[in-house]
Amino acid sequence: MEETVVSKNFIEQIIEKDLAEGVYDHVMTRFPPEPNGYLHIGHAKSILLNYGLAKQYGGKFNLRFDDTNPTKEKTEFVESIKADVEWLGADFEDRLFYASDYFDKMHEAAIELIKKGKAFVCDLSADEIREYRGTLTEPGKNSPYRDRSIEENLKLFQEMTDGKYEDGSKVLRAKIDMSSPNINMRDPVIYRVARMTHHNTGDKWCVYPMYDFAHPIEDAIEGITHSICTLEFEDHRPLYDWVVKELGYEQPPKQIEFAKLYLTNVITGKRYIKKLVEDGIVDGWDDPRLVSISALRRRGFTPESIKKFVELCGVSKANSSVDYAMLEYCIREDLKLKRPRAMAILDPIKLIIDNYPEGEVEYLDADNNLENPELGSRKLPFSRELYIERDDFMEEPPKKYFRLFPGNEVRLMNAYFVKCESFVKDENGNVVEVHCTYDPETKSGSGFEGRKVKGTIHWVSAKEAIKAEVRLYENIVDEEKGKLNEDGTLNLNPNSLTVLKDCYVEPSLASAKAYDSFQFVRQGFFCVDCKDSTEDNLVFNRIVSLKSSFKL
């Protein structure tokens, strides 16, 4: 019997080679977000990749906040990120860290580099540093302050730390090579003066490390073996390696880059989302039209569906875009066998069965999921007055329309055959009532084998049904015109949200709670909104329609 050969992605190959050669005897990964916004679907790939690799190789996974830039960071973002990571199932156990936990050690590391003659205090302004840096084709030139003595640099750096200098007046730079073909190695800034209150350390510091200096130190302190990041950090890897080498860490971490996850026609940029929130176009970072993780959770996506999506996208070195329809495919696949079906009428008109006894209610059996009998069945109240969908009746139907029209007979799902006898219009010419007669011999499940009907429609009992609000979502981006206008503004779809206030759902949904999801017959998958839904006013978000344009 042939063994199935599982193809390894390039990161798995690197890890297995490192373990086999004894470079490391364990695997330690981390997810290191900057707490300056909410996470989105692209971050989910990084979270699940890092956690999955640690789990696959019996290692550990850390959550660490890279909070080295206090101007943009908030506790609100810290809490939202923790909730997202936990919801995705990436278990960091008790290993929650902050870059700011290591500020003392980073400061010591900076002093160590100064003492080695590998760092110097520079008085050039940011613009002058940029000018001295050179270009991709021309080497940079040395700062006039590059040859300060170790003693002077130590004194100046201490004075920076003590708050003697204005923000931006002095920086600490690594002393590497101003003629390096890699601009990141041209004496990069590693510390700056910045009087900012930090969400974690308060006003203790007025100097802060730069990300490219802080990150390798954080990884090394935590014993990270494989520091997995996205492709834009590939050119920063020589600096990462330089920092851990000069500071003499044993078993230094190895940086590995992979391609980001791009979804077509979605908005992930923080400044764009911030503007949508501030302009009131969306009701927060978790608006279900966005692809932040909290928005996907609110809309009704599951961790399993996002994990499946990330697996389908794969891990590579090549940037590429994925159609949003693939994400929708994953949630359909996840929910179709798990979630019960229910009847909901989104655009109701009344159907009256003239020959059904007034005041009588009978309870009919309905399967919760035809594809998964384990989900059992429920009882549906049936009565003389029902609600049906407006588009399930037509006064003058086209060919191949098999639903209700005068003289036609259909099956009411899980109930009886009914025949349309007449209808009533209001003063504006809109149909408000459809009158039918029913055949009591045709009860669903009774084994009736008489005449056949081609159409089956769903319904809810008018008296027992629960009124609900339903929100239908489309892409917030106008897909035909593309994401951005020529002036850089977002090209928004004016029909991205439709709110239906007068919907009716079957009474079995009365106790539905936030995040509960259902397949509404013929309508799609829907989830109870976690923000606005109450016991007295149920609100359902459409997760996804039933039909898919995506093919594996």
pLDDT at residue 530 is higher than 80: yes
Mean pLDDT of 186-196: 95
> What local confidence, expressed as pLDDT, does residue 344 receive?
98
pLDDT number for residue 117: 98
Write out pLDDT tens, residues 237-253.
999 999 999 999 999 99
Per-residue pLDDT, 483: 74
- Whether 376 is covered by a domain: the verdict is yes
What pLDDT, on the 0 to 100 scale, is given for residue 550? Answer: 55
Residue where a domain stops, chosen among 187, 208, 229 = 208
Q: Three-state DSSP class for 205?
A: coil
Is 169 inside a domain boundary?
yes
Over 80: is that where the pLDDT of 7 sits?
A: no
Residue 518 has pLDDT above 60, yes or no: yes
Assess whether pLDDT exceeds 60 at residue 22. Answer: yes
**Facing residues of 258 across strands?**
230
The reply to whether 78 falls in a domain is: no
Q: What pLDDT, on a 0 to 100 scale, did the predictor assign at position 551?
A: 59
247 token code pair? 């500071």
Q: Which residues pair with 411 in a beta bridge?
A: 417, 456
**What is the tens place of the pLDDT at every residue in 307-355?**
999 999 999 998 888 999 999 999 999 999 999 999 999 999 999 999 9
Per-residue pLDDT of 479-508, as tens digits, reads: 777 777 777 778 899 999 999 999 999 999
* pLDDT at 224 (0 to 100): 98
Q: How confident is the model at residue 548 (pLDDT cuts 50, 70, 90)?
A: low
**pLDDT over 50 (residue 271):** yes
Rounded to 10 deg, the angle between the 150-161 and 103-115 helix axes is 160
Intra-chain end-to-end CA distance of the chain, in Å: 28
How many structural domains does the chain have?
2
What percent of the chain clears pLDDT 90, i.e. is strictly above it?
Answer: 84
User: Residue 5: helix, strand or coil by DSSP?
Assistant: coil
Asked if residue 201 has pLDDT above 90, the reply is: no
Its domain, for residue 447, covers 344-458
* Residue 257 belongs to a domain: no
Map tokens 């005041």 to a residue.
359
28-31 and 60-65 beta bridge pairing:
parallel
Count of CA atoms in the C-beta half-sphere (13 A) of 529: 22
pLDDT value of residue 367: 96
**Range with the poorest average pLDDT among 11-25, 72-86, 147-161, 459-473:** 72-86
Domain end residue (candidates: 437, 458, 479) = 458
- CA-closest candidate to residue 299, choices 149, 473, 97: 473
With respect to residue 409, please indicate whether it lies within any of the assigned structural domains: yes
- Examine residue 474 and state whether it is found in any structural domain, yes or no: no
Task: Give the neighbor-by-neighbor strand order of the sheet with 96-98.
Answer: 28-31, 60-65, 96-98
Q: From the CA atom positions of the chain, what is the Rg in Å?
A: 31
State the average pLDDT for the chain: 93
Domain boundary among 458, 480, 510: 458
Asked whether residue 312 is domain-assigned, the answer is no
Q: Is residue 225 part of a domain?
A: no
Residue 4: per-residue pLDDT: 56
Residue 1: pLDDT band with limits 50, 70, 90: very low
Q: Out of 1-5, 50-54, 320-324, 339-343, pick the least confident.
A: 1-5
CATH at residue 390: 2.40.240.10
| pLDDT at residue 510 is higher than 80 | yes
Pairwise CA distance, residues 299 & 290, whole Å? 9
Q: What is the 3-state secondary structure (H, E, C) of 127-178?
A: HHHHHHCCCCCCCCCCCCCCCCCHHHHHHHHHHHHCCCCCCCCCEEEECCCC
Between 201 and 507, the more confident residue is 507
The DSSP result for 488-501, as a single string, is S-B-B-TTSEEEEE
| 408 close to 415: Cβ distance less than 8 angstroms | no
Whether 552 has a pLDDT exceeding 60, the answer reads no
pLDDT, average across residues 92-112: 97
Distance, CA of 174 to CA of 206 (rounded, Å)? 19
- What is the helix (H) or strand (E) element at residue 385, kind and residue range? strand 385-389
Compute the average pLDDT of residues 36-51: 94
Which residue carries 């980001």 as its tokens?
260
What average pLDDT does range 376-397 have in this prediction?
Answer: 96
- Could you tell me how many residues make up the chain? 552
- CATH number of the domain that 184 lies in? 3.90.800.10
